[in-house]
Amino acid sequence: MAVEGSAGEGDRDLPGEWSSALGLLQDDLRRRDAAVRTRRAYAVDLGQFARWAHARGRMPAEVDVRDVRRYVAGLSEAGAAPASTARKLAAVRGLFSSQREHGLIAGNPADLVATPRQPSRLPRVLKASEVAQLLESVPADTLLELRDRALFELAYACGLRAEELVSLGLNDVDWDGEQLRVEGKGRKTRYVPVGELAMAALRDYREPREREWRSHAGQEAGGPLFLSKSGRRLSTSDVRRRLRKWTGRAGIAGGASPHTLRHSFATHLLDGGADLRSIQELLGHASVSTTQVYTRVESARLKSAYARSHPRA
Just list the catalytic residues: 161, 185, 259, 262, 285, 294
Do 134 and 250 contact (CB within 8 A), yes or no? yes
191 has which bridge partners?
181
Do 190 and 176 contact (CB within 8 A), yes or no? no
Do 245 and 138 contact (CB within 8 A), yes or no? no
Instruction: Quickly count: other Cβ atoms within 10 Å of residue 251's Cβ.
Output: 10
Q: Which residues does 282 contact at the CB level (< 8 Å), separation at least 6? A: 158, 159, 190, 192, 265, 266, 269
Please state, in angstroms and rounded to a whole number, the distance separating the CA atoms of residues 68 and 71: 5
Q: What are phi and psi of 15, to 5 degrees?
A: -70, 165
